[in-house]
Structure 1
Amino acid sequence: MTLFITESLVENLARERAFQLLDQDSAYEILGPFDRLESPHLAAQNIVPQYDDGMVIVKGTLNGKPTVVISIEGNFQGGGIGEVSGAKFAGALEKVLKECKQGNIIYPVIIYDTGGVRLQEANYGLLSIAEISAAIVELRNYVPVVGVIPGKIGSFGGMSLTAGLCSALIMTREGRLGMNGPEVVEQEAGLRELDARNKQLIWQMIGGAIRKETLLADLIVEDDVSKFKEGIIKIWDGEIPLQHRTEKYNEFLKLFKSLSIEDKISPEQAKEILLNMNAVEDTELSIPTEIVNSRGRKWFDLLTNGQPSISEVPSVLVADSFINGIKARFIAVVPNKENKYYRARNGEVGLLEGWAIAKYVREAIEEDAASNEKRLIVPIVDVPSQAFGYHEELFGIYLSCSAAVDAYATARIAGHPIVATLVGNAISGAFLSHGMQANRLIALNDQGVNVHVMSKQSAAIITQRSIRDLDEIAKSVPSMAYDIQSFNKLGALYQLLDEVNADEPAEVDKNRLIEQIVNAYEDIKSDGIRDLSCRLKSEKAISYGRKASIKAREMIDLQWK
């Protein structure tokens, strides 16, 4: 009788997982627990920090090839991304990218075990995930970025967007991949929308098996370290072709325009629908009879001088116009009370919206490819959140949002100046999808402009605090606050614009915003840098807002052999 001995990856902690994947005696940890770079924001909230902040970076070889494994510890704060953990993750990818650009190919492997942004450091998580996403998009031009989702927690929240950006994904059947956790969907949309206690249904919707069967994951393996290694090597060697899913905007958009969700679609039906996606005929979406005059729509109309939208999706407005002689494409997500996806009727980014953004950004890239002058792209940001819904999770809203992130990042790298204007709410995955990949961020200094990862009510429930407690904490931890003045302290804004009527803008308000957009455009052109590093170089970032983010990157650079 032959005895087969397996070595579990799922049952181990993040550090053991990273070392398990690499060749014996080749690996060493960068910025480990003995460096004691812990979160500076948790103790103030009576939370015990951890010396590695739940993020493990190990450098070595896998099958003889230089490899960096980034492994997230799900047992610390649910694998949540805060300032230090996010900076370690982004900083490691940025270092790999720098090496690859110099001709020193290093293969990145990401082990996901995360619920997304750490709510106790909310806006630091948003900034970090934007930087992680930007690095992945650029890195894929040099080397495959492999994501591994072994199990326990899975990959959720903003981190699911980064998983969607990976060149290829390896999962176990126990792994889960979705944007909004089942409990969050139930909390936001109600029990009738999704019963989070129905574990069998949850795994049928977002588990590893269904993600692989619907071609949203590349490989399913048993929980054996040797199987994970074999899978990674097969991806590297080209035995498993890369799908480039986030670039397939035409196919996905056509599908979601034609889909009927009057009755709940079962996971088995969803599988058939996704597998036969290419056979779907194109359909037109009806124009809404009731126009909701949101901030996003008002500013879109004003900045484009009333140009009609060219978008085939009524909840995504797109128009080309000129400002001070500069050709620009303006994009806004707006409410549509007749949206067939009822969880996306109030301006949320959902299945249609993410893919529509991707389409119109990528079309601008293609149209300007042969031109020396890449048009300015202006995301007008007024988004309350991503859509929380059963069908959204079933059909992969995370990938829709990833597609939008990918398109904006690709445009920026290709030389399109992107200046996002925050005129209303900029919340969670919607902001990551629409705005956060911009070269420069401009915000109106108005109480209706808020940045965060979740509604206050939901954040209170998940952190087990009252709203009053959250407001009190926000006074000493600006990343927890919703108001734009607190977000400005983190150093990511190019300009916080005072004395503008955000709700009822007039010509004078338009001119003030256009002046700042043009200033930002000229700053981008003169700077010439196409990544997001400017957010770490501002005076506010250096003196206060991103000190730990900057220090983490400096320490990674020093310890990189």
Structure 2
Amino acid sequence: MLFLKDSFVELNARNRAKAILDQGTFREIVGPFDGLESPHLVPQGIVPQSDDGVIVARGEIEGEPAVVISIEGNFQGGGIGEVSGAKIAGALELALRDQENGIRTRPVIVFDTGGVRLQEANYGLLAIAEIGAAIVALRQYVPVVGVIPGKIGCFGGMSIAAGLCSSLIMTREGRIGLNGPEVIEQEAGIEEFDSSDRRLIWNTIGGAQRFAAGFVDELVDDDISAIKEAIHRIFRKETVGSPRSSQVDVYRSFFASIDLSQPITPNKFRELWQQHIAGKGVHSPNSLQTGMNKDDEVESRGRTWFYALAHALKINKEVPSVLCADAMLGKEEVRYIAVVPNRHHRFYRVRHGEVGIEEGWTIAKYVREVIEADQHGKKRAIVAIVDVPSQAYGYHEELFGLHQACAAAVDAYATARLAGHPVIALIVGNAISGAFLAHGLQANCILALNDDHVNIHVMSKKSAARITRRTIEELEEATKKIPAMAYDVRSFATLGALHELIDGVNADIPQVQDIDKVCNRLIEAIQTARSSPRDLRNRLASKQAQKGREASILVRKKLAEQWK
């Protein structure tokens, strides 16, 4: 006798939330009748949706209070804009408030998303940083469960958010990766990744592969009951193991042991991972990257400002593309971290300063060293010097879980901030996409040089044009209506996330007076961070944010009114 399963994948976002919650307990908040549409789509000739593609549902899971956040992949590819992002971040923040008040609220996120909605660009980037911050804070109290059922999958910055979850459930129909196949092909060429090769895609980022390679906790059938039971199992556990985004030593030793001179197929990668976790793999790491002589160093603004500020005799170059040094800044002891180019990098898609596998996990290592060393003393400041052209676009990067490497860096910075370490980001060059999410966007305070070559955005113009089916000229025209779509730092400043835009500094060849000015601003930012809340709420309190992120503030207000 055949028993037909009830497909979870085929449900829309609202019905997925209903299916997860106990029968009869579903209550949607900030729903379609509240009329909170994205204000940024109509000016671009795009029809908005009254719930902006995100369902926030209150109810119960096994009799306990719960919130289910479900993303609708059929609207704008599940893209995260200002309103949808604020609904997700705001709901998680309220769940955190419940936990702090002794109300155990079970959070579940159903991912069906391509990442940032490119028509809202930096709005989505900021929202995803706030989602990540809320997940890291919330999971100290209760497991944050992520579900990736299928259809769209989970891509872009939201794959980093998924990588932060306490536990991740996936079906074989699901996919997860930082970069979508089409974007990799656009950025790196068809020889790197053929987006028409369906077998390649599923063998690289599909549910079965991700589970076998250790990036997913449970692989379940596309069945409502199976997914509900998997969620229940996680919440029933008295303790949940440490999230994989915090397991830095495990992953660093694994990736260091991989010999990239040999072809690494998906099957080979799974085999190596299984050997590693069984204690049968190579445990003495190879050199993470080929070392560099001083004459081999590639100039970049990140490198220039690292040396200008750190002026330390001892610089950690274990991974030559991630510079780390401790130095005094006035009366403050500071750890400086910068990602820089390495023309000899063994991952060839990371040779121009991109954030890749080793960069993400190494940033996490350097930040967690500070957390561990300072746990019983004064919390030293951490300064992320930001000049990152993007995350890496490559086959190996996706196969090896680039989203998880970036999640590790996000986790480390957020954990440091919550522990009381002032985390300051100084943007001196490019701050693009997942690289900026991993290295800079979790800071208490973000400073940026007011310079024409300081750019902040989600994606290169070529890829953004392809994904949105526009010409570059049409994209540039849209930036006149939507500042969040622009690349220049002055447009980004109107969104209210910058602590300060620093004028009058020679960004390429800083002189003594330039360095002194930046040092003084860093000292002030560190003092501000020490006396301010440890979360990211200040980003919505600035004068610029009151206008530039008005919808983000309104959504949170409505969520709070309807929460109980």
Which secondary structure state, in structure 1, belongs to the residue aligned with residue 119 of structure 2? helix
Partner of 1:423: 428
2:551 pairs with 1:554: no
Out of 541, 548, 564, the position equivalent to 1:545 is 548
1:61 maps to 2:64: no
What whole-Å deviation, never above 9, does each CA across 1:34-61 have from its counterpart, x for those lacking one? 1010000001111000000001000101
Q: Match for 1:338 among 334, 344, 350?
A: 344
Match of 1:474 among 463, 469, 479: 479
Amino acid at match of 1:332: A
Residue correspondence of structure 1 range 243-282 to structure 2 within 5 A: 243-277=242-276, 278=279, 279-280=281-282, 281-282=284-285
* Structure 1 residues 477-526: Cα deviation after superposition (integer angstroms, max 9, x where no partner): 00000000000000000000000000111111111011111111111122
The one-letter code of the counterpart of 1:183 is E
Q: Aligned runs of 1:298-313 on 2, under 5 Å?
A: 298-313=304-319
1:254 Cα deviation from its structure 2 partner: 2.2
Q: Counterpart amino acid of 2:543?
A: E
Pair 1:319 & 2:325 matched: yes
Shift of 1:187: 1.1
Question: Which residue type is aligned with residue 366 of structure 1?
Answer: E
The one-letter code matched in structure 2 to 1:483 is D
SS at match of 1:120: coil
Query: What amino acid is aligned across from residue 473 of structure 2 in structure 1?
Result: R
Q: Does 1:534 align with 2:538?
A: yes
- Does the CA contact (< 8 Å) of 2:301 and 2:508 recur in 1? yes
Paired residue for 1:217?
216
Amino acid at match of 2:426: T
Q: Is the 8 A contact 1:168 1:243 kept in 2?
A: no
Post-superposition offset of 1:286: 2.9
Q: CA deviation at 1:243?
A: 4.9
Deviation at 1:476, TM superposition (A): 1.5
Residues 554, 239 of structure 1: alpha-carbon distance in 2 compared, 3 angstrom cutoff:
closer
Matching residue's letter, 2:541: K
Question: What is the 5 A alignment of 1:318-397?
Answer: 318-371=324-377, 373-397=378-402
Mapped to 1, the partners of 2:540 and 2:381 lie a distance apart of: 23
What letter corresponds to residue 383 of structure 2 in structure 1? V
CA 1:240–1:275 in structure 2 vs 1: closer, same or farther (change >3 Å)?
Answer: farther
Q: Is the 8 A contact 2:312 2:326 kept in 1?
A: no
Residue of structure 2 equivalent to 1:410: 415
Superposed CA deviations along residues 16-72 of structure 1, whole A, max 9, x for unmatched, are 110111111111000000101000000111100000000100010122121110000
Q: Give the Cα–Cα distance (whole angstroms) in 1 for the partners of residues 109 and 292 of structure 2.
A: 43
TM-score normalized by the length of structure 2: 0.97
Q: What SS does the aligned partner of 2:273 have?
A: helix
Distance across 2 between alignment mates of 1:248 and 1:21: 29
Q: Counterparts of 1:307 and 1:417 in 2: how far apart (Å)?
A: 23
Give, in angstroms, the shift of residue 374 of structure 1.
0.2
Counterpart position of 2:466: 461
Alignment-mate amino acid for residue 399 of structure 1: Q
* Amino acid in structure 1 at the alignment position of 2:479: A
| Aligned counterparts of 1:24 and 1:258: Cα–Cα separation in 2 | 49
Identity of aligned residues (%): 56
Q: Which residue of 1 aligns with 2:96?
A: 97
User: Residue 286 of structure 1 corresponds to which residue in structure 2?
Assistant: 290
Query: For residue 538 of structure 1, what is the amino acid of its counterpart?
Result: S
Deviation of residue 344 (structure 1)? 0.4
The equivalent of 2:189 in structure 1 is 190
CA distance in structure 1 between the partners assigned to 2:241 and 2:108 by the alignment: 15
Counterpart pick for 1:501 among 503, 506, 509: 506
Distance 2:204 2:290 in 1: 29
- For structure 1, which runs of at least 5 residues remain unmatched after alignment? none
C-alpha RMSD of the superposition: 1.2
CA displacement at 1:275 relative to structure 2:
1.6
TM-score (ref. length: structure 1) = 0.98
Decide whether the 8 Å contact of 1:29 with 1:59 is kept in 2.
Answer: yes
- Distance (whole Å) between structure 1 residues aligned to residue 374 and residue 5 of structure 2: 53
The residue identity in structure 2 corresponding to 1:297 is R
Number of residue-to-residue matches in the alignment: 557
The unaligned stretches of length 5 or more in structure 2 are none
Describe the SS at the equivalent of 2:177.
Answer: coil
1:342-395 CA-to-partner distances (Å, cap 9, x unmatched) read: 000000000000000000000000000011x10000000000000000000001
Q: 1:484 aligned to 2:489? A: yes
Q: Following TM superposition, by how much is the alpha carbon of 1:264 offset from its aligned partner in structure 2, in angstroms?
A: 3.2
